[in-house]
Structure 1
């Protein structure tokens, strides 16, 4: 009977145990036999978890899930890295559900919180919570989100009494709740750091260390990220014990189904180029995600797209949390075609219907580019990523090519056009179409004051952004000066006839006459013509050699070398005709740089080093200021140098959500006030005893509840503890009104 019900539920490969037929040894033997199938059924998951997987539509686990889930089920600490969109969320959600469902891990009374998932952003936390509820639909486990920007009193109600089994939280607000409520985390079995490198990059190190200090030592810790460095110094602080490191798809940083296109355009024409791209990629049901540098760019582009008749919405970190949730909901439900965002949406968001990503402003870090374009081409689907590159972004583009291990393809090397254009081509925008669109943008900025003001603010915001963004490497800046930008249009933006016309125009542009203007415009017997002829006879070969060297240097064939006489010459690194033989490395030779140097540089996570490089140290202007500065230093015998005196005086400090530093044991008293208002019981009060009166049943008549509310209002009105300013003023006005009525009655009696 039981087997028939499960077959009807549609769980392939899973058979329900029939009571009285098989022993526990038979069940374990069957699991071992199924282990080679490679599906979720071979992982030993329980029926309720498998039912949630099937209802979600998953059939086969991804490579990272196949590697990670068995280790997590064995209660091992795991540090996992896989490229974005490979299914990392299920790697920690499924083990958590399986572990909490087990009868061994039954919750104690008043201590339901048994799993904690920490996310860097509220959007990623909400998405993870939705994923937990979908997969754990049939397990009976409760879950909740503790996020910054939400009502803290509502979160007091969630965490008091019967707390949820699984909590998905941002570090700042969760630590605030722990301190205010004196929350005990002794019963937590699993803690997960989702997008772990981003948590440390955003400066959540202090909050994470404080949360980890409150967790039990026998917990299981899981770290997941799309990019993870080999040096796990920052992550070791999270308290891992003998972790297992899993690195998959390290060489393939981007999905093979992702198409890349680099569009070269002048900075002032980027808006017009964006409109042209949206006109091409937006079809009936398609959607696009556009990344901009600042919130000012997002608001400006939203106004431009409104005038262009393209439905769009936007989200950035400074926006109200409810507005961000509404914007993502509109885009997910296909109520609009374009979502304009900053880098707040570059991590972890799963947008199923997204097929195109456009970088309006080029990212400064290669790792950030990987996360941006990773919103498309997820879970085996295909996708496209366009990047608008201006002259000041060429150096960052060259750094990115080193990180990806790819090369730029020029339009002249490609014969296909349109949708058949290969990935990685670097081309320009067709000039005639770009000029027409730019005229529209200029007219909108001139005729609409709102767009004009937004453009002005956008320009100022860009100046500040350029000042603080991470610069490209020195080598990339040197190569960028020698790299000639493409003049030919990108083949993806052209049809076959347009491509032939563009090739003809490119040939005309690149045509170089043999003679100079002095030779072409004059007669054969003129003095200027004769002088140029004589000059060409003497120095013609040297001029031609210099031109060839510059061209080869721009293509990377030549390298620049300096000699002792301080004169710079160009030495041929490899001949353009003869191919250089591949160097055979000696097994005893140790190179100066690692083979994956560029990869590790791009993936590096070191918040403290980045913060110290951006630190501005101010010196005193006079002798008194210098003396006070020296007084803050003391000699450290072990380090043999002067070190700063601890400004906290040895106290344990933490950083609040607003950025200020307070004592780690600081409480504002908001939870105590909330308990008084809501009469929330303590954990000890929840236990039934003979002396304490039992709670009334919830099913009471309506008039009983009405009388309780009236009595509660009377008690609050009589107690000065619960009065605020409005209640006091209202009470005074009521008393004055009564006094005036009494005076009026007394005056009437006297007249009679």
Structure 2
């Protein structure tokens, strides 16, 4: 008896110790759920389900802890427990109650945050049982086949205790088989691409009036793949009473416009963790010249990250550089060396991947227009550790599931602070340390200063600074040590001179970077002024504190001498050289001296006016800010303000540049161009006939059949093409009785045909 009591006490103590370690959001109630639901597994009566859910909610109220799915109003507890879900994730905790209330939701969550269950669990609760009514009740659109199959698998596991039917429809499969599947009247459609759904609507004259629930999964990726026209067309055919959900990792401006047009008072749900830099992330910024970026990348990979190489000869090229990792092979790759490199265009991807392969690194690369099969192979190689380095653009990195890695390198610096946060957010996850290295040229320095203001961190330059640097909370800028950096510069120049293929890729990437610079937005005007002042400072060319141990007294003197030469600005012009102290100065020197005196007076007057206007503006801004604060306090006291979706979305909108630079060039004003079909000068991009953008379907890339069938469908329905002829209220029934005008018109056509057919034949005209 005493042993049993001791066992019970020990079990209670262990349970209490577990509860102490769990937070409020991580309460483990799986044991209590299992105990209560064991009774319900034998009998599936609804009353017992209600009784059990109320009992569990009462227990949670007593402990003053909530954290289970049952507290959100969801009922498929058996399937949730069987799936292994114990506590909702943050995105599930925020979105499921809103979806259960019937509201449209725009959710921002990265891959692996549990957003699939966030829209599947409420969907199963709303659909409940199979309906005999013909037509789909829920549609889930995905950008890829793999994601559609994955979502269907999770849905099958969660709906195992229901009689709901689902089907998966992906592009590239047989249409006849998909016709048979849809004829079975499934409740849920899992579609891989919007083009295939649009194709089925045309071919089967399918109606979407029965749709109650539609989800756009990875919506940002759908827009990146060019499905914007198809999505608007599908949205136009859906009923107004449906519930629409968008889940995305990022929020581009095109997606915000789509949400404003297609959703009814949507609620934006985003996790604050995704918009901040982790405290475990260490960052370093290196100032380099534009023509030395290749060598800087090799230096970071070999000297700082120490990525293993597969050839011994590559490590010997560095000369005085360390050869500690030259004996390692690619098979011994570890997660510590997994590195992702961000570049600006797809031409840089090919160039950098080729250069790193020549050096001996195992490299994978991905860009927006890469074939899907090649993309899958390269991602699998990087995930499995066969390659250590992945070279990507921002467009490609947003649509793939990159595992947790240690290092991120920004080869081309970003033009947006939000994109920088998104890039470095690939590392330092789940409590692990991460490292981010960025190369900054003199032209990119203003964007770095914008980032400093965005993050609110102090800026430290060079190793001569007396302050102790903190790589997790400071922005530290410095140069590479020349003694160990110069061999990498020589190696890169030698390869560019000797390999023609690499040289051509380099030239293409340079031209692409010029176009990229034209399309990117400018930094803040004050950042350009600050950048000029920083570059004039003597410590701007100091060695980065990471390499302070490699710099001796001679190297410091050498760097000081080089900085003095680079910062030297002569006071005389070319016309005044040799005229200082010479009484018999030339006529040109005297003219330049008079011109400088006249200009200096205007410059001083302009500076005085500018300083006075700035003081007046500052005082006016202070008064306005005080008035705004008073008005805000009064408004807060009177009524509680609520931000709308438009205001919230403006804070998190993040647009990336196209890696093929088509969008940036098309922003310019288009002039006249020659159209070969019309034999005339026309305006516009010339997409389709009469500059109308064609809608892409699975069957015809030029979408000619789609336009024809759409016109036929609209004629048959007698309306605007939103409903088909069968069973619709707007359809016109075929009437056999004809009017007098129709009979008269038909007789005229018949008479024309008779006269035409009665003409004499010309076959025997030239016979002799």
| Shift of residue 463, structure 1, vs aligned partner | 3.1
In the aligned structure 2, how far is the partner of 1:334 from the partner of 1:620? Answer: 50
CA offsets 1:148-178 (integer angstroms, 9 cap, x no match): xx56769957965556945253444543444
The more displaced of 335-344 and 426-435 is 426-435
Query: Contact conserved, 1:126 with 1:145, CA < 8 A, in 2?
Result: no
In the aligned structure 1, how far is the partner of 2:426 from the partner of 2:177? Answer: 31
C-alpha change, 1:266 and 1:411, in structure 2 (3 Å) is same
Aligned residues: 581
In the aligned structure 1, how far is the partner of 2:474 from the partner of 2:168? Answer: 42
Q: Which residue of 1 aligns with 2:449?
A: 398
In the aligned structure 2, how far is the partner of 1:401 from the partner of 1:155? Answer: 57
| Corresponding residue to 2:128 among 95, 101, 104 | 104
Query: Contact conserved, 1:114 with 1:190, CA < 8 A, in 2?
Result: yes
| Shift of residue 316, structure 1, vs aligned partner | 1.7
| Shift of residue 303, structure 1, vs aligned partner | 1.6
In structure 1, stretches of 5+ residues that fail to align are 1-9, 519-526, 530-560, 575-580, 633-646, 669-683, 685-752
CA offsets 1:624-656 (integer angstroms, 9 cap, x no match): x9x9999x9xxxxxxxxxxxxxx9999997456
Query: Contact conserved, 1:39 with 1:59, CA < 8 A, in 2?
Result: yes
Q: Which residue of 1 aligns with 2:213?
A: 190
Q: Which residue of 2 aligns with 1:27?
A: 52
C-alpha change, 1:198 and 1:517, in structure 2 (3 Å) is closer
| Shift of residue 305, structure 1, vs aligned partner | 1.5
Secondary structure of 1:460's aligned partner = helix
| Shift of residue 269, structure 1, vs aligned partner | 1.2
Secondary structure of 1:384's aligned partner = strand
Query: Contact conserved, 1:146 with 1:169, CA < 8 A, in 2?
Result: yes
In the aligned structure 2, how far is the partner of 1:425 from the partner of 1:599? Answer: 32
| Shift of residue 322, structure 1, vs aligned partner | 0.8
Secondary structure of 2:403's aligned partner = coil
| Shift of residue 307, structure 1, vs aligned partner | 1.8
Q: How does 1:57-68 map to 2 (within 5 A)?
A: 60-68=87-95
Query: Contact conserved, 1:40 with 1:61, CA < 8 A, in 2?
Result: yes
In the aligned structure 2, how far is the partner of 1:468 from the partner of 1:229? Answer: 17
Q: Which residue of 2 aligns with 1:332?
A: 383
C-alpha change, 1:243 and 1:344, in structure 2 (3 Å) is closer
| Shift of residue 51, structure 1, vs aligned partner | 3.8
TM-score computed with the length of structure 1 as normaliser:
0.63
Secondary structure of 1:191's aligned partner = strand
CA offsets 1:544-574 (integer angstroms, 9 cap, x no match): xxxxxxxxxxxxxxxxx99986877667989
Q: Which residue of 2 aligns with 1:731?
A: none
C-alpha change, 1:294 and 1:229, in structure 2 (3 Å) is closer
C-alpha change, 1:439 and 1:197, in structure 2 (3 Å) is same
Q: Which residue of 2 aligns with 1:585?
A: 626
TM-score computed with the length of structure 2 as normaliser:
0.62
C-alpha change, 1:487 and 1:583, in structure 2 (3 Å) is farther
C-alpha change, 1:317 and 1:172, in structure 2 (3 Å) is farther
Q: Which residue of 2 aligns with 1:115?
A: 139
Q: Which residue of 2 aligns with 1:603?
A: 653
Q: How does 1:56-95 map to 2 (within 5 A)?
A: 60-81=87-108, 84=110, 90-95=114-119
In the aligned structure 2, how far is the partner of 1:23 from the partner of 1:598? Answer: 43
In the aligned structure 1, how far is the partner of 2:613 from the partner of 2:218? Answer: 46
Report whether the alignment pairs 1:38 with 2:63.
no
Secondary structure of 1:14's aligned partner = helix
Report whether the alignment pairs 1:323 with 2:374.
yes
CA offsets 1:210-253 (integer angstroms, 9 cap, x no match): 11122233322112345559999714454323433335429944
Q: Which has the higher helix share?
A: 2
Secondary structure of 1:106's aligned partner = coil
| Shift of residue 414, structure 1, vs aligned partner | 7.1
In the aligned structure 2, how far is the partner of 1:563 from the partner of 1:381? Answer: 55
In the aligned structure 1, how far is the partner of 2:99 from the partner of 2:277? Answer: 26
Q: Which residue of 2 aligns with 1:262?
A: 285
Q: Which residue of 2 aligns with 1:370?
A: 421
Report whether the alignment pairs 1:218 with 2:241.
yes
Q: Which residue of 2 aligns with 1:294?
A: 345
Q: How does 1:2-13 map to 2 (within 5 A)?
A: 11-13=30-32
Q: How does 1:525-536 map to 2 (within 5 A)?
A: none
Q: RMSD over aligned Cα, in angstroms?
A: 5.3
| Corresponding residue to 1:249 among 266, 269, 272 | 272
In the aligned structure 2, how far is the partner of 1:30 from the partner of 1:500? Answer: 75
Query: Contact conserved, 1:72 with 1:92, CA < 8 A, in 2?
Result: no
| Shift of residue 433, structure 1, vs aligned partner | 2.6
| Shift of residue 189, structure 1, vs aligned partner | 3.7
Secondary structure of 1:585's aligned partner = helix
C-alpha change, 1:427 and 1:180, in structure 2 (3 Å) is farther
In the aligned structure 2, how far is the partner of 1:653 from the partner of 1:516? Answer: 58
Query: Contact conserved, 1:402 with 1:598, CA < 8 A, in 2?
Result: no
Query: Contact conserved, 1:49 with 1:98, CA < 8 A, in 2?
Result: no
